[in-house]
Structure 1
Amino acid sequence: MRRYGRALVAAALAVSVAGGTAGRVSGEARRAVTGPPPGSAAWRADTSLGRALPDPATASPEQVARFFSELTDHQKHSLVRRHPLVTGNLDGVPVTLRYAANARALRAEHDPRYRRLAAPGHRILAFDPRGRGQVAEVYGDLERARRVSVVVPGSDIDAGTFDRTKDPYGAPVGMAVALRDATAGRTAVIAWAGYTTPVGVGLDAATGDLAAAGAVRLARFTRGLAAVGAARPALFCHSYGSVVCGLAAHEVNATDIVVFGSPGMRAGSVGALRTEARVWAAKDPSDWISRVPNVRFAGVGHGPDPAGPGFGARRVPAERAEGHTGYFAPGTDSLRTFAAIAEGEL
């Protein structure tokens, strides 16, 4: 009965915004991909090194990093060969090993969605083929960059839309490339499609279930960056991705949390996020997200507008951005401000 009530509220929200969206109304619920990476059972059973391997389900990124620091190069690369999906997705594994493991895993796939990612030269930091597919790609030198940013996307993003050429600034790769270009290559940017996103406008988009699962993965991901010595990141969270960032705010190891086109962060104010990161918000006048009621009832809706005056976020100008996916378009005041945040100039 409670879920039926939630569905009715979600349907009302969907109808209120569907006319202004590029997506579709969806009543189908998605199941979040969670837990350890595929191949974990074989990893746990592996005794080839004469010692137990860290359990992907329970070992912290710090424990994983410490384990790999004790291995020889030969041992490290043997794990890449034997268990590419685990090595490539395990937070705390050295960055270059993850790149090598994911390149190997991608070459073994025959899905056309992964053809570009499997090409030489890509720095794939995570690759999970389960469900609709999850990917993280690095632009720049993650190990040496003084400043790092992570792009957290919203609805309708998966392995097939991760780097779409149509409407590129609403997809992780387009946003990451635009941000790196705007900093003249002085930062490293990670396009992170590391959680199961909603599809269309419906119950999943109006509730926090997928965001809660994504928040766990995002928090662990940022801990993994710290464990391998990468700089603390700034998070750039689009649309439903801002719900993920809001739920993860108290755990992520971030300098800044920047939300744009946000339906809410599941918090009543910046203080309620319980984070030491600086919180920023942008919303352009033509963004259809403004049609989404900023309510929260029976678990549906995401709360106050982070760009509203009472929330307490620092405002990012976005008068030159257009629509829901125009914040990273070159020449916009929002992108210029994002770049300054990414470089630590604000």
Structure 2
Amino acid sequence: MGLSFWKRRGRRTVAAATLTAVVVSGTAGWASGQEQRPLTGPPPGTASWRADEATVGRLPDPATASPSQVASFFRGLSGSEQHKLAARHPSVVGNLDGAPIELRYEANALALRAERTRALAEANNRTLGERQRDAARALAERCSELLAHGRRILAFDPRGRGQVAEVYGDLPSADHVSVIVPGSDIDLGTFDRTTDMYGTPAGMARSLHRATGGRTAVVAWVGYTTPVGLGPDAATGRLAEAGAPRLARFVQGLTAAGTPKPTVFCHSYGSVVCGLTASRLPASDLVALGSPGLRADSVADLHTRARVWAARDADDWIGKVPNVELFGLGHGADPTDPSFGARRVPAAHAKGHTGYFAPGTDSLRAFARIATGDAS
């Protein structure tokens, strides 16, 4: 090994050390970022689904059947058979990638009502501790909010911190589709919070849907366990590696159900998930915004046929995080660097780390053009 190798290694080691210092100093230590246990595996209720051979015969295994196989299975059923399955197994059908979209809405409404009933019973159970009852009461209220008229819930899983996907627009008939993949601190309770609205997947999705004049359906997808705060989870790829196959299946399920290839918008740590999933995503475009890196050195390393875009405004604190991947820390090259090879999205008027979808920004206008296929 020559001297140049050791110089490069030395620079990367210094950068990794700097990354550690940035994260620790920004959070008063690693403990500020709580280590999360990723939610993996098939949907809740899978055991009952596997055991059910009385409804329509042998059912596709949610853990092993591909989204295209799931779609083919449902195409072979009558409408009454589909509705019967949704009624018997709402948690599975509602989260089964490749199942008909409208049927998933129906199943998730049933699952939300069942979870609300369960949570209310727990909230009124005096034998439980006050903290557990308060959590159950909050979950019941959250279910009621998601059951509000007009909301289209494409996925719902109350386990752990909870996961959800909500659709803005008419997804089954849309000519254009976009998917929002969020970064840290997003879960069932925060995906549509009203504070820092454009930093949430729901706020991003609503803003993009309006900016396109309703020409694209947008899915706010919270289908993986996100980091909480800064710390080891945010600085490493562990949660992204667990989330990548879930994102791949979700997008494959959309196209298997008949939607066009989507544009996938990947914010912050969500771009790490997208980078690890890129080769398996049937996407037309990948857009990384406020990204710490895609775990790749260049667009070519993503092995994707999608057009790759990148945006970062000058006020975004993510620009202070060293772009390095060494000893498990960091997420690699800066996707906005010209050498990476991504198409640059203008973001001069966006503000901070969560302002890219704010109305009136150049970044939102560009996102709308990308989403509708109008970008050059």
* Equivalence for 2:252: 223
Mapped pair 1:60 → 2:66: yes
Mapped pair 1:102 → 2:111: no
1:183–1:202 distance in 2 versus 1, CA, 3 Å: same
Q: Which has the higher helix share?
A: 2
**Shift in Å, 1:98:** 0.1
Q: Percent identity?
A: 65
Quick one: which amino acid aligns to residue 23 of structure 2? A
Checking the alignment, whether the CA contact within 8 Å between 2:18 and 2:322 is kept in structure 1 is: no
> Which of 254, 260, 269 lines up with 1:240 in the alignment?
269
Q: More deviation in 101-110 or 177-186?
A: 101-110
**Shift in Å, 1:25:** 6.0
* Equivalence for 1:76: 82
* Equivalence for 1:286: 315
Distance (whole Å) between structure 2 residues aligned to residue 326 and residue 294 of structure 1 = 21
> Which of 39, 46, 51 lines up with 1:45 in the alignment?
51
Checking the alignment, whether the CA contact within 8 Å between 1:11 and 1:203 is kept in structure 2 is: no
* SS of residue matched to 1:109: helix
Distance (whole Å) between structure 2 residues aligned to residue 146 and residue 45 of structure 1 = 38
Distance (whole Å) between structure 2 residues aligned to residue 13 and residue 233 of structure 1 = 35
> Which of 25, 29, 33 lines up with 2:39 in the alignment?
33
Cα deviation 1:152-189 (Å, max 9, x = unaligned): 00000000101010001000110000000000111100
Mapped pair 1:144 → 2:173: yes
Quick one: which amino acid aligns to residue 87 of structure 1? V
* Equivalence for 2:306: 277
Q: Which runs of 4+ in 1 moved over 6 A?
A: 7-10
**Shift in Å, 1:17:** 4.3
1:161–1:50 distance in 2 versus 1, CA, 3 Å: closer
* Equivalence for 2:202: 173
* Structure number with bigger Rg: 2
* SS of residue matched to 2:280: coil
Q: More deviation in 334-343 or 294-303?
A: 294-303
Checking the alignment, whether the CA contact within 8 Å between 1:16 and 1:292 is kept in structure 2 is: no
Distance (whole Å) between structure 2 residues aligned to residue 26 and residue 192 of structure 1 = 25
Mapped pair 1:15 → 2:24: yes
Distance (whole Å) between structure 2 residues aligned to residue 318 and residue 15 of structure 1 = 28
> Which of 72, 95, 99 lines up with 1:89 in the alignment?
95
Checking the alignment, whether the CA contact within 8 Å between 1:162 and 1:172 is kept in structure 2 is: yes
Distance (whole Å) between structure 1 residues aligned to residue 328 and residue 291 of structure 2 = 17
Mapped pair 1:300 → 2:329: yes
**Shift in Å, 1:309:** 1.9
Checking the alignment, whether the CA contact within 8 Å between 1:10 and 1:203 is kept in structure 2 is: no
**Shift in Å, 1:82:** 0.8
Q: TM-score, normalised by structure 1?
A: 0.94
**Shift in Å, 1:291:** 1.3
1:201–1:25 distance in 2 versus 1, CA, 3 Å: farther
**Shift in Å, 1:296:** 1.1
RMSD over aligned CA atoms reads 1.6
Cα deviation 1:231-251 (Å, max 9, x = unaligned): 100000000000000000000
**Shift in Å, 1:57:** 0.7
Distance (whole Å) between structure 2 residues aligned to residue 51 and residue 26 of structure 1 = 50
Quick one: which amino acid aligns to residue 82 of structure 1? R
**Shift in Å, 1:121:** 1.4
Checking the alignment, whether the CA contact within 8 Å between 2:34 and 2:229 is kept in structure 1 is: no
Ranges in structure 2 where 5+ consecutive residues have no aligned partner: 1-15, 117-138
Distance (whole Å) between structure 2 residues aligned to residue 307 and residue 18 of structure 1 = 26
Ranges in structure 1 where 5+ consecutive residues have no aligned partner: 1-6
* SS of residue matched to 2:310: strand
How many corresponding residue pairs? 336
Distance (whole Å) between structure 2 residues aligned to residue 27 and residue 74 of structure 1 = 48
Following superposition of structure 1 onto structure 2, how do residues 149-228 of structure 1 map, counting pairs within 5 Å? Answer: 149-228=178-257
Checking the alignment, whether the CA contact within 8 Å between 1:94 and 1:228 is kept in structure 2 is: yes
Quick one: which amino acid aligns to residue 192 of structure 1? W
**Shift in Å, 1:268:** 0.3
**Shift in Å, 1:27:** 4.3
Checking the alignment, whether the CA contact within 8 Å between 2:19 and 2:321 is kept in structure 1 is: no
Checking the alignment, whether the CA contact within 8 Å between 1:17 and 1:289 is kept in structure 2 is: no
Quick one: which amino acid aligns to residue 24 of structure 2? V
Cα deviation 1:286-309 (Å, max 9, x = unaligned): 001011111111111001110112
Quick one: which amino acid aligns to residue 49 of structure 1? T
* SS of residue matched to 1:245: helix
* SS of residue matched to 1:210: helix
1:17–1:260 distance in 2 versus 1, CA, 3 Å: farther
